[in-house]
Chain A
Amino acid sequence: MTLGRVIEILEAEVVVDAIDREMEIRSICSSDLMSDLLHFSSRPKSILITGLNNTQAIRTAEIADIKGIVFVLDKRPDKETVRMAREKGIPLMVTRLSRFTACGRLYAAGLGSCTGEDR
């Protein structure tokens, strides 16, 4: 599905916009602990759903080729985090939903886990 569709499903607010909202998203990864994400996220074109709204999430996305980040529970990234995301070209979104519900909605809409363990 497109990033634009992800934004709609999560009723998310865009903080750092993507160059292209038509960009394809194929899978989801989700954790508040970065090494848990780095253990998998081997599938390309994935989006990160996390409660960790700091620069470490941006670095992790950059290192693991994650295409965008959605912060849950209305957790807004600070200025430095926004600045780094812009510099690295990583779109940032904020949703009021919980991590469970955000992942659940996307899963129900057809996105699988970046771990490749489900579908």
Chain B
Amino acid sequence: MTRRNIEGSFHLSGGDFTNAGAASSELKSILTNLGINPEIVRRAAIATFEAEMNVIIHAVAGVMYYLITQDTIKVVLNDMGPGIPDIDRAMTEGYSTAPDWIREMGWGAGMGLPNMKKNSDRFKLDSVVGEGTTVEIIIRIKEGKTE
């Protein structure tokens, strides 16, 4: 079965814990309703959820854009925020600059970026200090699982 490309976007506000995760949750329903393999949906949901939470936790505002084609899920998160001075260090398991009150909310384990990378087939992180960060997540939809 062929389907048209599906795309859309969500606006994200830094510090808005009431709606934190709502965008990833909605994207997850969209992917599930398309009949995509649950294992692939879960990987996409985890990677985008971590990326969405980083915007909520570390940035001021951002946009999550998604494009679902016949064979890939692509999610791009673009934020205005402090940026990441040392990307290699940020990618290290357990490294976090999140304050204690964020950890009391359940975040700040320093595993978010490694989790995004682990669940993506392609993962790109670009950042300009003082301007913002862009995360690109690409996940392949395996053949024959989408009909």
Contact = CB atoms under 8 A, between A and B. Distances in A.
A59 B25 contact: yes
Given A59-B21, A63-B28, A38 B106 contact: no
A59 B42 CA distance: 13
Given A35-B112, A39-B114, A63 B107 contact: no
Interface in A45-80: 52, 54-57, 59-60, 62-65
A56 B115 contact: no
A59 B53 CA distance: 11
A36 interface: yes
How would you classify the secondary structure of chain B's contact residues: helix, strand, loop or mixed? helix
Q: Chain A: interface residue count, which band?
A: 10 to 19
Interface in B71-85: none
B109 A64 contact: no
A39 B25 CA distance: 18
A1 interface: no
B109 A35 contact: yes
Contacts of B108: 33
B20 interface: yes
Contacts of B134: none
Given A59-B20, A63-B45, A38 B25 contact: no
Contact of B49 (A39, A52, A59, A65): A59
Nearest to B25: A62
Contact of A57 (B20, B24, B106, B112): B106
Contact of B106 (A54, A64, A65): A54
A32 interface: yes
A111 interface: no
Contacts of A33: 103, 106-109, 111
B15 interface: no
Contact of B25 (A32, A34, A56, A63): A63
B46 interface: yes
Contact of B107 (A35, A55, A62, A65): A35
Given A38-B111, A59-B25, A52 B106 contact: yes
A42 to B, nearest CB: 8
Interface of A: 31-36, 38-39, 52, 54-57, 59-60, 62-65
6 contacts: A34-B107, A35-B50, A38-B49, A39-B118, A62-B28, A63-B42
